[in-house]
Amino acid sequence: MGQPPPLRPEPRSPGATRFARVRAALEAARPTSGAPAVLYEFAVFVFKQGWACLFGALMLALLLATHFLYPAGAPLARYDFLTICAVVIQVLMLAFRLESRREAVVILAFHIVGTVMELFKTAHGSWLYPEPGVLKIGAVPLFSGFMYAAVGSYIARVWRIFDFRFTRYPPRWATVALAAAIYVNFFAHHWLPDIRLGLFALTILLFARTRIYFAPVAMPRWMPLLLGWLLVALFIWFAENIGTFSHSWRYPGQADAWSLVPIGKIGAWYLLMIISFVLVSLVQRPQPPDAGLSRD
């Protein structure tokens, strides 16, 4: 397949996010050739990734800051403080158009999906939240749902910011069925045989030929979608290690002292990435490289 044509900026709509203005200024200053152009494209790629990670990065910063600085005898529990901060961040991102309303809907869906999983997993001893708090459902503090929402926020934002396009993307019904099977297996493997290896195989079968095109600047680049999911799952594993290091939650093996989260957890995050991507695809709708999309 030939290289898709460069993506041309479209007029900014009244509802555009603030990133549209920043992006336009960056692209207007772009070098055209040589090492400066390569370095510029890499710098813009890193900037856009950072912008897409904004919600998650702020949450991780809060986990670390409150671990080291939050007063032990404060009348407001640390977990409750984190929940209030997460809500304030969400409201401010909407108020300042750092996030679109559609992205907020995705975040809400992730919060619900994540909280249900947290309730089940903590009840079965998969991990625990050792600190007290009032803003909880059972043993699960409400801020935990925002950690899943941070994943949804990243995917929704990075999809828009990089103008994702796809070739050979599977039918929607197949992706939804796969995501549903993965989600059910997260619960069912406590009683039934764990079918995650079969789910990995099915994922490869469906997406092995799928390419994701993304635009760091104007000319789109591409990679296999499966590789993109693996890279994101790896970074989520890094973030999870920050979360456990800050004692925000804890695995059974970390009861006496902190240790790295087992590397096998990357597989679980990989499967969660598929659920996340499919949920976002119900809002964003995968498009081929030659389709015109708004770049707000």
Least confident of 31-35, 50-54, 271-275, 292-296: 292-296
* pTM summary value: 0.83
How far apart CA 140 and CA 120 sit, in angstroms, is: 10
Place of tokens 């336009």: 24
DSSP per residue, 5-71: PPPPPPPPPTT--HHHHHHHHHHHT---SHHHHHHHHHHHHHHHHHHHTHHHHHHHHHHHHHHHHS-
Q: What's the confidence (pLDDT) of residue 93? A: 87
Place of tokens 């800050």: 246
**Taking residues 157-164, what's their average pLDDT?**
91
Q: What is the largest CA-CA distance in the chain?
A: 63
Q: What's the confidence (pLDDT) of residue 29? A: 66
Residue 169 above 50 pLDDT?
A: yes
Task: Indicate the pLDDT class of residue 19, thresholds 50, 70 and 90.
Answer: low
List the domain boundaries for the chain: 18-25+35-284
Give 197-243 pLDDT, tens digit per residue. 999 999 999 999 999 999 888 778 999 999 999 999 999 999 999 99
Least confident of 72-76, 163-167, 280-284: 280-284
Give 27-63 pLDDT, tens digit per residue. 666 666 667 878 888 888 999 999 899 999 999 999 9
Q: What's the confidence (pLDDT) of residue 17? A: 58
